[in-house]
Structure 1
């Protein structure tokens, strides 16, 4: 271990070390009067050249470190909403990973589709939320959300296991509904077996990482800065490990502008996600309302 560290140090400082040894050697030879003045001057120039090279390298590394440090921008309060709004403008893709996708379907999905339709361009959306058929997972997520202080929860409606399940089902329903109405929308939904306390939103211009507590700063990484590509790769890898919903199956059950309870149940059956038998017609109607008439939680 010590040898490896020494070799790394030697590799990073070899030019400075050579300059130091050369200067020491020339100094000794000059003292004992072994070399003449011309050779001494040439040796001094060589040492100065090595020192200049070392200084330039260190300046380059320092500048790179400064650029890397400035690659993340912290956002607070209203800045978060503004940054998300700017990210939605003109984006051709949106990758989301979070809990139930409440804000995703209330604001992001709707606006991205409206912008793409108005500009007559294709749009690709990838959504990763927790699996609503995993009751224990939904219970864990509800407990996490409930553990947040009331003033930072962003909603007066309590988080319960049933609400969590309905929110996640609503996100899936919204994805199908929008897909049936916008020909140039490619949308993929993956159901995760684990929960995350972060929300990831990646557009064509940046990636924004937020948390459910609005008092916690968000992080923004621009596309041309470090980490954007790394986080994009992370989101793709995470999505590939989810249980992906075959939304194309839902095309066999057209949804009306105001879907009925029967249409909704049929849709989830076709998707291979039958609603729990405990869900009444009122619960199903609530899922449709959350999907198509969502309230911005922030």
Structure 2
């Protein structure tokens, strides 16, 4: 397996501009600074042009020869057997957007799903309406009823660099965030009939998250400064991730689909508690203010990555 470092356009621009700048600097040094420092007479324009043209010709010939040798020695890539690509951290947003542009599925396995709540759900709803086509959304999240798992996740989150200087995590906050994601998903489904929602709840969590569309599977970590892995759907690893997802969903506690949810704009604490009751999700240990906060987060989610 070969992992390739991406070479984005802006990196090539930096390279070319840097090269041009160095060339200009060398010309100034050779034909201006050196003659002045040595008290020699500066060369004429014709001499400078002749010297530059000769050097340029030599450089071009050398470059063509080296490039030809490298191209001849480099084997052609078998894209079918190398379907994994490393995505730089700053490219994650663009890759996620492209992956949702022409997909009829969006499967997520992770912890809380805050990005999906803030970005993926509304984007998929918009595309479903524009295309008059259904979107199958499947979520595998931590079970908010499992207090021990929520506490372990909170302790781990508190040790991350991204948590430093921000609000700390505890089991209550984890449960609020999870319930807000679930509530948001069902409300979007009630609001947009083309969205088909399936939610599975698991009793463990992983350091990695997977967002899967019809064409790509994107593997990321919590820290937005880390790179990601992009797996194409025509490759072996996409199929492995897909089957692993199916296996995880089969072992998870799946929430019922037929629930009398309401659109986001109609959400309030009263109907939210009713929805949670129909989903058999407990609110033990959560105060009325916690329920109000869950509704607020569901109605006005924030992108955790800015």
What is the alpha-carbon distance in structure 1 between the residues aligned to residue 122 and residue 269 of structure 2?
A: 22
Aligned residues of 1:201 and 1:207 also touching (Cα < 8 A):
yes
Determine if the alignment matches structure 1 residue 273 to structure 2 residue 281.
yes
64 and 244 in structure 1: CA distance in 2 versus 1, 3 angstrom threshold:
farther
Determine if the alignment matches structure 1 residue 287 to structure 2 residue 294.
yes
Equivalent of 2:127 in 85, 103, 115: 115
Other structure's SS at 1:247 match: coil
1:155 Cα deviation from its structure 2 partner? 8.1
In structure 2, the partner of 1:188 is: 198
What is the alpha-carbon distance in structure 1 between the residues aligned to residue 192 and residue 165 of structure 2?
A: 31
In structure 2, the partner of 1:55 is: none
Structure 1: runs of 5+ lacking an equivalent: 1-62
1:107 Cα deviation from its structure 2 partner? 0.7
1:226 Cα deviation from its structure 2 partner? 2.7
Task: Tell which structure's C-alpha radius of gyration is larger.
Answer: 1
In structure 2, the partner of 1:15 is: none
Aligned residues of 2:216 and 2:238 also touching (Cα < 8 A):
yes
Q: How does 1:20-99 map to 2 (within 5 A)?
A: 67=79, 70-99=82-111
TM-score by length of 1: 0.73
249 and 216 in structure 1: CA distance in 2 versus 1, 3 angstrom threshold:
same
In structure 2, the partner of 1:244 is: 254
What is the alpha-carbon distance in structure 1 between the residues aligned to residue 113 and residue 164 of structure 2?
A: 14
What is the alpha-carbon distance in structure 2 between the residues aligned to residue 261 and residue 157 of structure 1?
A: 23
Aligned residues of 1:97 and 1:200 also touching (Cα < 8 A):
yes
Determine if the alignment matches structure 1 residue 129 to structure 2 residue 174.
no
In structure 2, the partner of 1:156 is: 166
Q: Aligned-residue CA RMSD in angstroms?
A: 2.1
Aligned residues of 2:135 and 2:194 also touching (Cα < 8 A):
yes
What is the alpha-carbon distance in structure 1 between the residues aligned to residue 132 and residue 165 of structure 2?
A: 35
C-alpha deviations, 1:44-93, integer Å up to 9, x for none? xxxxxxxxxxxxxxxxxxx7996477321111222111100100112110
Instruction: After the TM superposition, list the runs of 4 or more consecutive aligned residues in structure 1 that deviate by more than 4 angstroms.
Output: 63-69
Aligned residues: 232
Aligned residues of 1:128 and 1:191 also touching (Cα < 8 A):
yes
In structure 2, the partner of 1:44 is: none
Other structure's SS at 1:250 match: coil
TM-score by length of 2: 0.71
What is the alpha-carbon distance in structure 2 between the residues aligned to residue 256 and residue 220 of structure 1?
A: 32
What is the alpha-carbon distance in structure 2 between the residues aligned to residue 118 and residue 159 of structure 1?
A: 38
C-alpha deviations, 1:251-297, integer Å up to 9, x for none? 5xx45623121111111111111312x32222111111211210000
